[in-house]
Structure formats: C-alpha cells, structure tokens
C-alpha cells in the first residue's frame, strides 16, 4: 500500500519513532519516499508537496489490545478518537499521521 505525504522526513519520524514500524530498504527512485514493514505487508510513503489527505480514506492496523495501544499513542502525543464498537465485529478508533492521513486501529471481537 502506498500513501502520499507532504514532508517525508516528518512522516518517517512518525512511522518509525511513534508507530515503531521497521524501515525497509528502498530503491533509489527519483522522488522522495520511504518504505516500512507493516505486518505481512509494506507501507510505502511518497512525498507530494501539495497533497491534501482525502476525507474518509484510511487504512486499518489490527491490534490485540486497542486500549493499551491508545494509551501508548497518547503518551507519544498522538490524539486518538474515542473507541467505537461494531457489535460482533470489532472495536475501532482513528488517528492521523502528520499529513492528515487517517489510520484506523482495529481490534477484532
């Protein structure tokens, strides 16, 4: 999966230091970006200086304990929405990266 970011350095600091995603090697493309491990998948950041994050578009990250994950994110200065429960499906909450890309925390029930 790839997402656009306004400032790749700020985004790298967020995904590497706050979310603790592992940085992956990236080919020497002619545009700024970064690659991260995200479970069994990869997250590719592409720098686009005039990008505006779309409303409603997001990706989900499955977590084992949403409350503990939110507590850690809050300690690291990340504002997370209130947890909502989809009965019989999951508990979910949302937060944004420095560009405003929405990320869902998802704890299956």
Per-residue pLDDT of the chain (109 residues), as tens digits, is 999 999 999 999 999 999 999 999 999 999 999 999 998 999 999 999 999 999 999 999 999 999 999 999 999 999 999 999 999 999 999 999 999 999 999 999 9
CA gap 73, 65 in Å, rounded: 12
Q: How far apart are CA 5 and CA 12, in angstroms?
A: 10
What is the three-class DSSP state of 83? coil
Domain range list for the chain: 2-108
For domain 2-108, give the CATH superfamily.
Answer: 2,3-Dihydroxybiphenyl 1,2-Dioxygenase, domain 1 (3.10.180.10)
Write out the two tokens for 72. 């850690």
Q: 3-state class of 10 per DSSP?
A: helix
Model-level pTM greater than 0.95? Answer: no
């Amino acid at each position: 999966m790839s997402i656009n970011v306004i400032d790749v350095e700020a985004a790298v600091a967020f995904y590497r230091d706050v979310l603790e995603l592992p940085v992956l090697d990236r080919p020497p493309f002619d545009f700024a970006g970064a690659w991260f491990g995200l479970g069994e998948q990869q997250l590719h950041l592409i720098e686009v200086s005039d990008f505006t994050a779309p409303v409603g578009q997001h990706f989900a990250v499955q977590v084992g304990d949403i409350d503990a994950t939110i507590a850690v994110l809050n300690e690291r200065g990340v504002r997370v929405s209130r947890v909502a429960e989809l009965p019989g499906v999951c508990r979910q909450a949302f937060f944004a990266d420095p560009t405003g890309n929405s990320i869902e925390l998802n704890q299956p029930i």
